[in-house]
Amino acid sequence: MRQIPNIFTLINLLFGCIAIVLILQTGENIVVLDQMGGTHINMPEKIWQGSLFIFGAAVVDFFDGFLARMLKANSEKGKQLDSLCDVVSFGVAPGMILYQLLRLGYAGEDNGLDVSILALLPAFIFSGAVAWRLAKFNISTNQTYNFRGVPSPAAGLLIASFPLIIWHAYFNLHYWFINVWVLYFVIFLTSYLMVSNLPFLAMKFKDFSFKNNLLKYILLSVSLVAIVVIKWLAVPLIFVLYVVFSFFSKEPPPMVADHENETTLDVTV
C-alpha cells in the first residue's frame, strides 16, 4: 500500500514520456504551399495531443500527493522520485513544445525552414529552469507556506496550453503563440520566475475563513469562470492572475512544510 503513491508518480513520468513522443513525431507538414505560391502554417495535430498528456500528468501528480497523505506514505524516496518525474513532465516536455513552436514561428518567415538550431535552443532554458526549481525546492527550508519561485508544474501547464490555444484558434489570437519574440519573452520570464526567490501563493488552506484566504477564493472563482467561458485560453490568464495576486499577498505565519504543497497548486493553475 505504501508504494501506491510512487506508482502514481511513475504514471506521471509515463504521461510525460508519451507527451514528448507526440510532440516530436508530429506526422504532418508544418508549412503548406497554396496555388498562389503562398505559405500557410499548420499546427501538427500530435503537438496538442502531447499537451493533453502534460495536463494528465498534472492530475496524476496531484493524486500521488493526495494518496501519500491519506496512506501516510510520505518518504524521502517519494519526494525525490516526484521531482525526477516532474522534470520530464513539466520541464522536458514543455521545452519540446517551445522548440516546436519556435520552429513554427520561424517557418512563417522568409527562409524560415533553414533557421539555425541556435535560434531554437533557448526553448531548453525553460527545461533547465524547471530542474533548478525542483532541486531548490527539495532542499529548501523556507517554503513552509508560500513558495519561493513559481512552481514548475504551473509554468509547465502554461506552456502546454499554447498548442491547444493554437489548435482551437480562440479569438484569432493563435498567431501570438507562434510569434518567436513572444515565445522568447515567455521563456525568459517564466524561467526567471521559477528560479527566483520571489514569494508565490501556495493554494493550500490553513483555514477556510474568507478573511485569511480572500485572494485564493477570488483566484479560484475567476479561474472557474474563465475555464467555462474561454476554455484553454483561461490557462495563461490564470497564470498571470496567480503571479499578480502573489505579489499582493501577505505571507501568513508558517505552517509545517510539506513536499506535496507544490502539487496542490498544480491542478488549479
Q: Which pLDDT value is given to residue 210?
A: 76
Summarize pLDDT for 138-184 with one digit per residue, the tens.
887 766 668 889 999 999 999 999 999 998 888 888 889 999 999 99
Q: Which pLDDT value is given to residue 164?
A: 94
Q: Which pLDDT value is given to residue 52?
A: 97
pTM of the complete model: 0.84
Answer yes or no: are the C-beta atoms of 38 and 236 closer than 8 Å.
no
Q: Which pLDDT value is given to residue 42?
A: 63
- Bridge partners, 200 (sequence order): 147
Q: Which pLDDT value is given to residue 259?
A: 42
The amino acid at 1: M
Q: Which pLDDT value is given to residue 38?
A: 55
Q: Residue 265 is placed in which grid cell? A: 497548486
Range of the domain at 159: 4-268
- Number of folded domains in the chain? 1
Q: Which pLDDT value is given to residue 258?
A: 41
Answer yes or no: are the C-beta atoms of 266 and 62 closer than 8 Å.
yes
Q: Which pLDDT value is given to residue 263?
A: 41
Answer yes or no: are the C-beta atoms of 126 and 154 closer than 8 Å.
no
Contacts by residues 213-219 (CB-CB < 8 Å, ≥ 24 positions apart): 215/245, 215/248, 215/249, 218/245, 219/245, 219/268
Query: How distant is the alpha carbon of residue 81 from its chain centre?
Result: 18
The segments of the chain whose pLDDT lies below 70 read 1, 26-45, 66, 68, 73, 112-113, 142-145, 205, 207, 250-269
Kindly state the helix (H) or strand (E) to which residue 178 belongs, with its residue range. none
- Torsion sign, CA atoms 179, 98, 171, 154: negative
Q: Residue 47 and residue 19: Cα distance in Å, rounded?
A: 8
